[in-house]
Structure 1
Amino acid sequence: MKKVLKIIVSIFLIIVITLAAFLYYTSKPLPQGEKGIKAEALTDKIQDAINQKAWDSTAAVAFTFMGNHHYLWDKKRNLVQVQWGDKKVIYNNQTFEGVAYKNDKKLNDTDKTEAIKTANDYFNNDSFWLIAPFKLRDAGTTRSIVMQDNREALMVTYASGGSTPGDSYVWLVDENYIPKAWRMWVSIIPVGGFETSWEDWKTFPNNLKIATTHKGLLDVKLTNVKTGQSIEAINNDINPFTTL
């Protein structure tokens, strides 16, 4: 028994040491950027390339995250429907008022509050993989130019907003200023500078461009992406928000 225990402890120590070494040798320090005209000019070019104006005027969005979180989002009225497993939550993501169901049965107030919190956490994370390039100038952000791979890149730091404020993202762009990857310095990932791609860009109404695939340590796929000027237009003439 002691021999088995020693083997288990040895394996555990090897795993810990290997992980610590991986983090030490792969993590990169947050780059120091230069704020000002050049950073704002690069931001303008990225926003023009993906058509920020079209995104700003889009009223409704639908998408599925990783095949199991399904969203309808009324952007103009801050209303969101989130479905996962046997749960469905319909709520206002500013006031957090709404309704929640499990197997199509309404939840009581306590369970509803928890379900809305879970749905909002999902929405903040999952939607960011869809719309992050359109949030370069959100309130509470700062932008700066950094050098990455001998090219200028845009670093955006979020001082507030979402579920994990304080994170920084460095955007790498192609020759047309379409984002091709970002490098992340975020609280939930212990490795600084971890890179994930932005690819499979699709074109939506008004020449709006949205990336639907991200490849990195974990691959992220967004499917069933739709945009429009009303929830009914992208949801078979059905508006679930009439229940609010």
Structure 2
Amino acid sequence: MKKFLKITAVIILILVVSLVGFLYFSSKPLPEGEKGIEAEALTDKIQDAINQKAWDSTAAVAFTFRGNHHYLWDKKHNLVQVEWDDTKVIYNNQTLEGLAYKNDKKLTDTDKTDAIKKANDYFNNDSFWLIAPFKLRDAGTARSIVMQDNQEALMITYASGGSTPGDSYVWLVDENYVPKAWRMWVSIIPVGGLETSWEDWKTFQNNLKIATNHKGLIDLKLENVKAGQSIEEINDGINPFTEL
């Protein structure tokens, strides 16, 4: 038994070292971009392709991330419902005030505060995989043109806001300027230029387009995606935020 455990430990160590080595040699330097008219023109084309105006006017969104984080988002009023496992949180994502339940029992004090913080962390991470293409001109962003695979690409660098200052994303687009992938240079990932796809684009009202699948080192899927002009419209007539 001890011999088997030693062999297993050696195999795991080899796999870990191999993965670290692969990631290290796969890392790419951050490309140098050129700001200006061309970068803004490419941004315009991407926003037109996915219909930025329709997104801006969308009032409510629902989606499930990786099968176990379920969201209702009253985008117009900054209200979010997050459900996972036996927990449900309803809160304002600007003030972080709200309600939290575990096994349908209302939480109070520190437990409620912790649950709201956890829900907001989930929401900030998971929603970015849905809304990132609509944040190209957020406050604190810089846009520049870079060359990737002999094609112009758009690099977005976050100087402030929800992402870590200095984080950069290079958007690769198809012939219609719909994003097909991005390459990431972000502080939480030690590998520069890691690529993840943006695919399975679904079309919603007013020709709004949302990607529902991402393939890369880890595959991420968004399911049950809905968009509308009210929570009731996308949630069978029910508005959970009346509790707040």
TM bucket (normalised to shorter chain) is over 0.9
CA distance in 1, matches of 2:223, 2:12: 39
Aligned to 1:119: 119
CA distance in 2, matches of 1:201, 1:163: 24
2:198 counterpart of 1:198: yes
Q: Structure 1 residue 171: deviation in Å?
A: 0.3
Q: Structure 1 residue 11: deviation in Å?
A: 5.3
2:185 counterpart of 1:177: no
Q: Which amino acid aligns with 1:37?
A: I
Q: Which amino acid aligns with 2:110?
A: T
- In 2, are the aligned partners of 1:58 and 1:227 still within 8 Å (CA)? yes
Aligned to 1:34: 34
Aligned to 1:230: 230
Q: Residues 106 and 46 from structure 1, CA distance in 2 versus in 1: closer, same or farther, beyond 3 angstroms?
A: same
Q: Structure 1 residue 166: deviation in Å?
A: 3.3
Residue segments in structure 1 that go unaligned for 5+ positions in a row: none
Q: Structure 1 residue 136: deviation in Å?
A: 0.4
Residue segments in structure 2 that go unaligned for 5+ positions in a row: none
- In 2, are the aligned partners of 1:125 and 1:163 still within 8 Å (CA)? no
Q: Structure 1 residue 40: deviation in Å?
A: 0.5
TM-score, scaled to structure 2? 0.94
Local SS of the residue matching 1:123: helix
Q: Residues 17 and 218 from structure 1, CA distance in 2 versus in 1: closer, same or farther, beyond 3 angstroms?
A: closer
Aligned to 1:142: 142
Q: Which amino acid aligns with 2:60?
A: A
TM-score, scaled to structure 1? 0.94
Q: Residues 59 and 3 from structure 1, CA distance in 2 versus in 1: closer, same or farther, beyond 3 angstroms?
A: closer
Q: Residues 161 and 237 from structure 1, CA distance in 2 versus in 1: closer, same or farther, beyond 3 angstroms?
A: same
CA distance in 2, matches of 1:91, 1:110: 15
RMSD: 1.9
Q: Structure 1 residue 108: deviation in Å?
A: 1.4
CA distance in 2, matches of 1:198, 1:8: 37
Deviation string 1:62-107 (CA, Å, 9 cap, x unpaired) is 0111111000001111000000000000010111011100011111
Q: Residues 6 and 206 from structure 1, CA distance in 2 versus in 1: closer, same or farther, beyond 3 angstroms?
A: closer
Q: Which amino acid aligns with 2:199?
A: E
Instruction: Tell me which moved more, 26-35 or 15-24.
Output: 15-24
CA distance in 1, matches of 2:74, 2:88: 16
Q: Which amino acid aligns with 1:78?
A: N
Aligned to 2:101: 101
CA distance in 2, matches of 1:37, 1:196: 27
Local SS of the residue matching 1:96: coil
Local SS of the residue matching 1:132: helix
Q: Which amino acid aligns with 2:128?
A: F
Deviation string 1:99-139 (CA, Å, 9 cap, x unpaired) is 10001111111011111111111101111111110000011
Local SS of the residue matching 2:155: strand
Give the share of equivalent positions with the same residue, in percent: 84
Aligned to 2:62: 62
CA distance in 2, matches of 1:75, 1:5: 52
Instruction: Tell me which moved more, 154-163 or 15-24.
Output: 15-24
Q: Residues 102 and 166 from structure 1, CA distance in 2 versus in 1: closer, same or farther, beyond 3 angstroms?
A: farther
Q: Structure 1 residue 20: deviation in Å?
A: 3.7
CA distance in 2, matches of 1:166, 1:124: 18
Aligned to 1:207: 207
- In 2, are the aligned partners of 1:155 and 1:168 still within 8 Å (CA)? yes
Aligned to 2:25: 25
Q: Structure 1 residue 25: deviation in Å?
A: 1.1
Q: Structure 1 residue 163: deviation in Å?
A: 5.8
CA distance in 2, matches of 1:239, 1:210: 23
CA distance in 1, matches of 2:211, 2:12: 39
- Give the aligned length: 244
